[in-house]
Copies of this chain bind each other. A is one copy, B any other.
């Protein structure tokens, strides 16, 4: 099933009520293949992106590639965050080739898809291009994904651009969902930025300290 006709995409931005998050192959073995982003930052960004879905109640699809072999299990923190989501384990490289995955996406009822995964050039680029070809609006989250080397990532970025996939970052996704600092979620969003960006904790604590005097 392709995105419905009623989904006319007049806005270039995603909203919290029309988007879903797809996390693809963030497995403990595959994560070790990321050579062009340090592990501490990458893990921080992956968790930060997952937390955006929690904050804005985005439907989430989780999938792994042969998690019982050397690729390893899903990052356990992701299981803990989404205990209700069944992880779809695949033998197919392109998640979009797997009917169970596509069904899970369709079940979200959303035609705006936010994708991240390991490795960018395969596990993100392949389904992102497939979904875009079928009419979905797709954003690929670069800093919550990672690559074997710089050229592989640059090639993946180019190929996704050519296929109409938008590139983004977790902080951008979060800001795009927030839209207005008067929303109820705003204090939680500020706390989230504080926990995950590094700098926001500093300005927030400095502010709190000096305001309190």
A residues neighboring B (CB under 8 Å): 12-13, 28-33, 35, 37-44, 65-73, 75-76, 91-94, 97, 119, 121-122, 125-126, 129-130, 133, 142-143, 148-149, 151-152, 154-159, 161-163, 166-169, 171-172, 175-176, 178-182, 190, 196-211, 213
Contact = CB atoms under 8 A, between A and B. Distances in A.
Contacts of A203: 28-30, 32-33, 70-72, 206
A148 to B, nearest CB: 5
Contacts of A31: 202
Contact of A122 (B29, B38, B172, B198): B172
6 nearest interchain CB pairs? A39-B198, A152-B169, A155-B167, A70-B207, A142-B151, A29-B203
B39 A199 contact: yes
A171 to B, nearest CB: 5
Contacts of A163: 12
24 contacts: A31-B202, A32-B199, A32-B203, A35-B39, A37-B151, A40-B41, A40-B197, A40-B198, A67-B209, A70-B190, A72-B203, A72-B205, A73-B206, A94-B179, A121-B169, A121-B171, A122-B171, A148-B169, A151-B169, A155-B172, A158-B166, A158-B167, A159-B166, A211-B211
